Amino acid sequence: MTRINSISDVETTRQKRNLTESQKRSADATKEGVVINSFVKDVDMHDLYDSMVISDSAKLPEKIYEDKNSKEKSILPISLIATGVMATMALMSALVKKSAKINMNIDSAKKLPTLTRNLAINEETHQAIYQMVQCPNQKTILAGAGVLTMSAMAFMGKMFMDGFKDVWVKKKEADIQKNLQEKLISVETQSFSGKIQIIRSMLADKAREFSEYLTAKPEYPIAFKKMMSSERVYFTSKKHEPKSKESNLKFIAIGAATLGTIVALGFVSLKNLRGGKKYLEKYVATAKEAISDIVKKSGTQTKEVDKTNLKNMIQAIDAEPKYIKEELSKLSWEDSEKAEFIEDVLFNNKKSTAQADKAMGGDGTPKPAFYSHVNDYRAFFYNWLLDTSNPLFKNLFLGVTAVSAVSYGGKVMGEAVKDVQVKKINADTELNLQQRLISTELRNFKAKKDTAINPLCEEFYVQLKSAKPKTELKTIAENILFEVKNGPPFVYS
C-alpha cells in the first residue's frame, strides 16, 4: 500500500509545534485514515455496473467477426494486355503481308487508287510564313511581318480580357460566398438551438419517466408492464428472404417479352424489305426502259451525250454484264466504236473505286500538295498589306476585325456575367437547401440520441424488474440522464 506523505500545511505545523514525536505520528495516522476512508476505498465492481450502466447480457455486433480480406491481386490482366497488344501487332503485320501479296495479283479494276497528300494551310500565320518561304519579296515579307505582329497583339489582348474576366468573376464569387456564410449563421443557429432543445426535452421526459419508478410502490405500474413486454424492441434487423422464385419468373417474363419483340421486329423488317424490293424493281424497270429508249434514238449528233447518260444510268442500276452486252449491242454505231464503248462500260461497272476530283484530291500523284483554305480575320489584313492602294481591302479588314473583336469581347463579358449569375443562384439554392435540411438534421440527431439512450433505458428496466434497491436504480437513472446530456451524438457535430 502506498504511504501518504506527511501533511504539512500551516495549521498542522502550528498544532505540531508543541507535540511530542509519538503524538505527531498519531495525528498523522489519524488524518491518513480519514483520507484513505474518503478517497482510497476498496472498489466494488457491482457499484461500477450501476454507475456506468453496464449490462450483463451485452454482446459485440456480429459484423465485428466478419473477415473480408481482399484477395491477392494477380498480374494476369497486365500479362493479357501486353500479350494482346503484341498479338494485334502480329496480326497487323500479317495483314500487311497478305495485302502486298494480293496487290501483286489483283485485277487493275479492283486496285485502290493512289492518293496525293494534301496539306491544308488553314491558319493565316502559317499561310504568311509559307508565302515568305515560297516567294520572299518586299510585299510578302512586309505582309507576313504585319500578320505576325497583329497575331501577337490579338493574343495579348485576348489574354488580358480572359484575365480580367477571371479576376472579376473571382471577386464576385468571394462576395457571394461572404453573403452566403452570413446567411448560413442563422441556419446553423437554428440547428444548434434545435439540438439543445431536443436534449432538454429528452432530459425532461426521461427524468419524469424514471421518477415514476423511483417513487412508486414495489408493484410495477401498467406503463412499466407494457414497456417490458416483448413488443418493445429498439434494435430490429428484419431479414428479407430471397425471392428467388419471383426473380426467376421476372427474368423469364422479360426474356420472353424480349424474344417476342425481336421476332416481331424481324417480321416487320422483312416486310419492309419486301416492300422496298418492289419499289426497287419498279425503279430498275423504269431505268431499263429509259436506257432502251436512248439506245434506239442514239445517233451521231447525240453520241457523246448518250455515252455519258448510258454510263451513269447503267451504273445507277448496277446492271449485270449480260444485260449490258445485250442492250448496248443494239446501238446503231460502228462495230469498233460500239465494242470499245461496251468494254469501257463493263470495266467502269466492275471497278471498286473511283478517282477523286483534281480540285479536291489532286492528280493522284503520291507526293505532297499544298492548298490554302483560310477562315481568319487576319487574312483580310494580309490582303490589305499586299495591296495598300485598294481601299476596299482596308475597309474589309477594319470591318471584319471590329466585328471579331466586339464578338469576342461580348462573348467574354457575357460568360463572365453568366458565371456570376449562376454562382448567385447556386448560393441561393445552397442556402435554401441548408434551411430545408434543418428539420432533417434534427430528426437525424434525435434518432441517433434515441439509439444511444434506448439500450441504457432497457437496462434500467431490466434492473428494475430484478428488484434492485432504489438507491442503485437512482444511480443508473442519473448516469442515463448524464449520457443524454453529454453523450454522443454531440451538439457541436
Indicate whether 271 belongs to any domain. yes
Distance CA 92, CA 96 (A): 6
User: What is the pLDDT confidence band of residue 359, given thresholds at 50, 70 and 90?
Assistant: low
- More confident position, 38 or 127: 127
Check residue 226 and give its pLDDT: 40
Indicate whether 263 belongs to any domain. yes
Indicate whether 93 belongs to any domain. no
What total of structural domains would you count in the chain?
Answer: 1
SS3 state at 300: coil
CA angle 103/108/112 to nearest 5° reads: 60
DSSP 389: T
CB contact set of 148 (below 8 Å; sequence gap of 6+)? 125, 128
Indicate whether 181 belongs to any domain. yes
Check residue 493 and give its pLDDT: 60
Indicate whether 163 belongs to any domain. yes
Q: Which of 77-86, 132-141, 365-374, 383-392 is the least confident region? A: 365-374
Distance CA 50, CA 197 (A): 28
Distance CA 19, CA 314 (A): 141
pLDDT digits (tens, 9 = 90+) for 285-311: 888 888 888 888 877 777 788 888 888
Largest CA distance in the chain: 160
Distance CA 156, CA 365 (A): 43
pLDDT digits (tens, 9 = 90+) for 15-70: 565 556 666 777 677 666 655 655 555 555 566 566 666 666 666 666 666 666 65
Check residue 60 and give its pLDDT: 63
Check residue 399 and give its pLDDT: 87
Instruction: Look up the pTM and report it.
Output: 0.50
pLDDT digits (tens, 9 = 90+) for 301-345: 777 888 888 888 888 888 888 888 888 888 888 888 888 888 888
Indicate whether 54 belongs to any domain. no
SS3 state at 7: coil
Indicate whether 290 belongs to any domain. yes
Phi and psi angles of residue 490, each rounded to the nearest 5 degrees, phi first: -90, 155
3-state helix, strand, coil in the chain (%, to 5): 75, 0, 25
SS3 state at 371: strand
Partners of 117 in the beta sheet? 368
Check residue 4 and give its pLDDT: 47
Residue 391 neighbours by CB distance under 10 Å: 9
DSSP 301: T
Indicate whether 369 belongs to any domain. yes
- More confident position, 297 or 246: 297
Distance CA 128, CA 268 (A): 59
Nearest partner of 125 among 145, 101, 142, judged by Cα: 145
User: What is the pLDDT confidence band of residue 13, given thresholds at 50, 70 and 90?
Assistant: low
Check residue 102 and give its pLDDT: 80
SS3 state at 218: coil
User: What is the pLDDT confidence band of residue 105, given thresholds at 50, 70 and 90?
Assistant: confident
Mean residue pLDDT across the chain: 77
Domain membership of residue 394 as a residue range:
112-234+245-486
